[in-house]
Amino acid sequence: MTRARPALALALLVATVGTARPAAASPLVDPTIGGMVFTGPASAHVSALYWNPAATGLMRGGHVFISGQLYDDYYQVQRSPIDTSTGEPTSMASAQRKEFAPAKGTLFAQGGFLGATWDAGGDTLAIAVGVYLPPGDVQPSGQDQLRYHTQGGNLQTATATLAVSYRLDSDWIMGAGLSGSLSWTHLHFAFDQALETCDGTKPCMVENPDTTSEFDISASTHGRPNFSFSGGLLWKARDDLWLAFAYHSPPGIVGGISLPGNATVTTSPATGSQVVHGDAQVNLSLPHILQVGGRWNMIPGRWELLGSVRWATLSSVDQFDLRLAGPELRDAEVREWVLRYHGLADAWQVETGVETPAGEATRWGARLRFDTGGVDSTHVAPEQISGPTFSLAGGVQFVLFGGFSLTLAAQAGFMVPRHVSESVFSPRAQTECVASGYDLDDCRGAREGSAIDTAAGDYQRYNFGAMLGISWDSL
């Protein structure tokens, strides 16, 4: 290996890792569509049709790939004690002090991918098609101490993509893809109605079961897909180095998505514990994603070095806007507009890894990822347990027979534990709003949906994943 090769390896690693900034594994973005190894914005892999369709132009002949992924995600939440007269965290012993048992459990999520590419009989044009189900955003359930933030729920999307790539010359390949997505969500949470009238002149008795109602909302796109597009470039900077640039728009492009559905509300015991039904609509925005990366033949014929940086504009996911309607809801005086605040921050993910080249009877690969997450410390909550996360993945691919190959991979991730002392979620925001006579400037938290029970406490999260993939290649 020449003296220039270690220098180039170091430069690629620095470019990959040095871009990260401390912030908060990011929700709503799956970094491993198609697999935990052997994929990426500059990799000749069928799943590139989603992240960077230009990379499908590196593949000759026909290729089919199918994979399944399963994640086991362990979490633990220890809420801080609160003073029920104000709803705020407290360290003082008093008759109004309320303590919480730890909430711990395991979240399971699964995903799948099926795709195919074809080079159209030449080396200029490639066509790809795929369908995939990314692992969904799953929330803790069955934890009564978390009920005012979540009693369970999920957000899931299934996507189909058609993509093409075109080789401009020997050094440049461009690609574009069009996707249609179907989304569905389930939201289940409790709401303390006493906060709406508490003005601070008397104890509020926050988290009082007698004044608590429950919302259970299911919504989906009902067969009406939301469209998104992707585009990318591949540049052969030198014979042993490819650089990639890719962009992916969110479903709904720039206008967000709307999911119609149904709502079931159990009113508080103080209002008769009625079970009423109505229509619901969930409105939200999803992030834009920009990715750059590279693949360098570090030791020709033996090892390739890969790296990428991904930026997701999670700051667009400000809140879930819930609209409720129907005569039963109206007669029971259930609020028609509910905001579930998220206030996420943009997330960065950096990745580096090594793998043996494609075409060998047995391939090995390993990846190291760091994700800043998408949640500032003040915004961490039971429905968005997120923070700086390190992940390590490894895998092997075996050539079987008749053009078939088998890929096995595993991944483990560790979120840096997070302590939330000052939470953006605060009953005080609702109290101050009521006391001000609903002055616009004093009601920002109430308008945004963050004027609910505090999320102060300690959060931990670990995840483990496994993947099985089968490919067929015809050259």
Domain of 233, CATH number, reads: 2.40.160.60
pLDDT, residue 131, reads: 95
Q: What is the pLDDT of residues 421-439, one digit of tens each?
A: 999 999 988 888 888 888 8
Residue at 246: amino acid letter: A
pLDDT, residue 388, reads: 95
pLDDT, residue 409, reads: 96
Residue 340 has pLDDT above 80, yes or no: yes
Residue 346 has pLDDT above 80, yes or no: yes
Tokens 């004044």 belong to 211
Residue 7 has pLDDT above 50, yes or no: no
Q: Is 228 exposed, middle or buried (0-12, 13-18, 19+ CB in 10 A)?
A: buried
Rg, Å, the chain Cα set: 25
Provide the greatest CA pair distance for the chain.
79
pLDDT, residue 28, reads: 66
CA distance 49 to 231: 10
Q: How many domains does the chain have?
A: 1
Comparison of pLDDT for 95 and 183, the residue scoring more? 183
pLDDT, residue 254, reads: 67
Q: What percent of the chain has pLDDT over 70?
A: 93
Q: What is the pLDDT of residues 197-219, one digit of tens each?
A: 888 787 888 899 999 999 999 99
pLDDT class for 5, splitting at 50, 70, 90?
very low
77 bridge partner residues? 103, 459
Residue 154 has pLDDT above 70, yes or no: yes
Q: Which residues form the domain of 103?
A: 4-474
Reported pTM: 0.89
Question: For all residues of the chain together, what is the average pLDDT?
Answer: 89
Long-range contacts of 116-124 (CB under 8 A, 24+ apart): 116/46, 116/62, 116/63, 116/64, 116/65, 117/46, 117/49, 117/56, 117/59, 117/62, 117/63, 118/61, 118/62, 118/63, 119/59, 119/60, 119/61, 119/62, 123/60, 123/167, 124/166, 124/167
pLDDT, residue 37, reads: 92
pLDDT, residue 203, reads: 81
Specify whether the backbone of 414 is left (phi greater than 0), alpha (psi in -120 to 50) or beta.
beta
pLDDT class for 475, splitting at 50, 70, 90?
low
The torsion of the CA quartet 16, 22, 28, 31, rounded to 10 degrees, works out to 20
Q: What is the pLDDT of residues 226-268, one digit of tens each?
A: 999 999 999 999 999 999 999 999 988 766 899 999 999 999 9
CA distance 83 to 441: 26
Comparison of pLDDT for 54 and 110, the residue scoring more? 54
Average pLDDT over residues 14-21: 31
CA distance 48 to 231: 11
Instruction: Give the per-residue SS3 of 163-222.
Output: EEEEECCCCEEEEEEEEEEEEEEEEEEEEEHHHHCCCCCCCCCCCCHHHEEEEEEEEECC
pLDDT class for 13, splitting at 50, 70, 90?
very low
Q: Cβ contacts of residue 140 below 8 Å, gap of 6+?
A: 75, 77, 103, 105, 107, 146, 150, 152, 382, 383, 385
pLDDT, residue 98, reads: 93
pLDDT, residue 326, reads: 96
pLDDT class for 25, splitting at 50, 70, 90?
low
